[in-house]
Structure 1
Amino acid sequence: MFLRIMKKGILLLSLLFLCLSCSEYQKLLKSDDTAAKYTKAEAYYNKGLEEDSNRDLRRALGLMEQIESQFRGKPQGQRIAFLLADTYYRLEDYYLSSFQFERFLQLYPDSEKAEEAAFKMAASFYYRSPRYNLDQSETNKAIEELQVYLNRYPEGEFVESANDMATELRIKLEKKSYEIAKQYHLTQFYKAAIASFNNFIADYPGSPFREAAYYYRFDSAYKLAINSYEVLMEERLEEAKEYYKSYKKYYPEGEYIQQIEESLTDIDSRLQNF
């Protein structure tokens, strides 16, 4: 019984404290005391980081949005501009964080926070990158900004993370290109598939999808040949055989070797008839 009363008492005190805290915050928002807002905004920001509290970060953001422009050109201006951008970033509002970090770098290019701002601006674009099957403009922009960071800070604090992000995004672009070519293959547009796989192989020599691209290029050529008019079949079978040789050269014990060898047997059998 006593424990139940204690729990209720603690809950009521917590609710009372929360109400008082909200009331204090609302009064501060309506006040004209920029110095108090600055001090409290930084306190909310630090508490948000320490306690992983989005509520405190949002409160910090509300205050910083009100006062940031009033501190430009003042000693605290650089600090509040960085905190504003970083709060957007930590709240995962990556459209506004990229904008604010870019503006910070324009206003304070020599800041000790410039490297972190450059990385987080690029990372904001990284987090905005959509699934591989959607438009990849944001992905290209993210790769570009990550490369800017890597070029500017080749031994910087965030180099490993930037490289990992750039690699992941490049693989996403490769996957999109590969899946487009594969879709041509699956829908039996074999000429388009062959052309797309040729482009893919030329554009992405180190891709994890490279072996599959070699195989499906061969398979597209093989199926194009066996479904051709007889007058075109011999030439197309020979072309498919050349694609077989390319796959065999690079992947003699590859994942698709059994399928490709079976298809080659059929190609040789058909060529004997010519």
Structure 2
Amino acid sequence: MKFLPGILLSFLLLASCTSRLGKILKSKDKEYKLKMAEQFYVKKDYSKAQQLYSDLLPLYKGDARFEDIYYKYAYTAYYQKDYMNAENLFKTYGENFPNSARVEETEFMRCMAYYKQSPKVDLDQTNTVKTIALLQAFINTHPDSKRVEESNDIIDKCRAKLELKEFNNAKLYYDLGYFKAAGVAFSVLIDDYPDSDNSDSYALSSIKAYYKYAELSVIDKQEERYQKVVADVNDFEQRFPQSKLLTDAVSYRTLAENNLKKLQTKNNEQTKETTQR
């Protein structure tokens, strides 16, 4: 049990720190409490600083230092990764101090608080969408801000995440054999992200899905569905004439046209048999 003294020492240090903070919080001297809050903030002990700032806010309302206390209080939440609370505090900072020189910064930090809440690709992306909207509003409001370039970079990252989520959904439809849904999803992906470097890949995936859908359809529906594949490949040729995937796309048109010929031959034979009767 050699480690017991170490544990005991850590416990005593923690108790000492807690006791010290408790004494500061109980103090009636608000100037002393503010001084200690500032010291904790500088030392990046944001938990203690936050507790003190929380106590001081109502005491300094109307004081010239109230704005600075509120500003740092918002950051204590952000630095502790309490992004939901930080977002609200940065938002209300702008409402409480609309003429402050820090409004641009706090508006940007509100966007960052939302961005920090953006989850993994496979989860709900509400905060990612909100981040894009807020950053675009920030850019529109502060077009000359030094933070515009960073804002655009974050928007690009958020859009890439949303694009990947849509792609994963479309691919899942394909892998599960829901080929019509996959074809639609890949087509929507192209419309939603027309400037994507993967647009030709999405278009080819849509063609593959619709070809599979036609192939598995009842005979009465196959003709129109193979015709759609042909039309989609023709569109691919026009939109992506330099694509490395063009050969693959054209191969599906060839397959579709061959199947259409077989269907036409079969229909002609059936018509001939019917006429002979």
Same topology, TM > 0.5:
yes
Q: Is the Cα–Cα contact under 8 Å of residues 132 and 172 in structure 1 kept in the other structure?
A: yes
Alpha-carbon offset, residue 120 of structure 1: 0.3
Structure 2 match to 1:137: 126
Q: How does 1:1-274 map to 2 (within 5 A)?
A: 23-48=19-44, 56-252=45-241, 254=243, 256-273=245-262, 274=264
Contact 1:94 1:124 in 2 (8 A): yes
Aligned residues of 1:82 and 1:104 also touching (Cα < 8 A): yes
Please tell me whether Structure 1 or Structure 2 has the larger radius of gyration of its CA atoms: 2
Mean Cα deviation higher: 201-210 or 95-104: 201-210
Tell me, in whole angstroms, the C-alpha distance in 1 between the residues paired with 2:10 and 2:173: 62
Q: 1:181 to 1:19 in 2, by over 3 A?
A: closer
Preserved contact between residue 173 and residue 179 of structure 2 (Cα < 8 Å):
yes
How far residue 264 of structure 1 moved from its aligned partner, in angstroms, is 3.3
> Is the alpha carbon distance of 1:15 and 1:198 closer, same or farther for their aligned partners in structure 2, counting shifts above 3 Å?
closer
Distance 1:129 1:16, change over 3 A: closer
Give distance in 2, aligned partners of 1:193 and 1:14.
58
Report the 3-state secondary structure (helix = DSSP H, G, I; strand = E; otherwise coil) of the residue aligned with 1:27: helix
Taking the aligned partners of 1:229 and 1:179, their CA distance within structure 2 comes to 28
Contact 2:167 2:189 in 1 (8 A): yes
2:26 counterpart letter in structure 1:
K
Shift of 1:222: 0.8
Distance, in Å, in 1 between the alignment partners of 2:16 and 2:170 is: 61
Q: 5+ residue gaps in structure 1?
A: 1-12, 49-55
Letter aligned with residue 114 of structure 1:
V
Give the counterpart letter for 1:158 in structure 2: R
The two structures have a TM-score, normalised by structure 1, of 0.84
Q: Distance in 2 between matches of 1:132 and 1:106?
A: 33
Q: Is the contact between residue 178 and residue 209 of structure 1 (CA under 8 Å) also seen in structure 2?
A: no
For residues 106-135 of structure 1, the C-alpha deviation after alignment (integer angstroms, 9 at most, x for no partner) is 100111111110100111001111122222
The two structures, once aligned, show a CA RMSD in angstroms of: 2.4
CA deviation string 1:31-87 (max 9, x = no partner):
222111111111221222xxxxxxx12221121111122212211100000000011
Deviation at 1:90, TM superposition (A): 1.6
AA in 2 matched with 1:231: D
Distance 2:120 2:244 in 1: 27
| C-alpha distance in structure 2 between counterparts of 1:130 and 1:14, whole Å | 35
Alpha-carbon distance between aligned partners in 1 of 2:101 and 2:34, rounded to the nearest angstrom: 20
**Counterpart residue number, 2:273:** none
Q: C-alpha separation between the residues in 1 aligned to 2:13 and 2:115? A: 39
Post-superposition Cα deviations, 1:199-226, rounded to whole Å, max 9, x if no partner, equal 2222221134422220111001111112
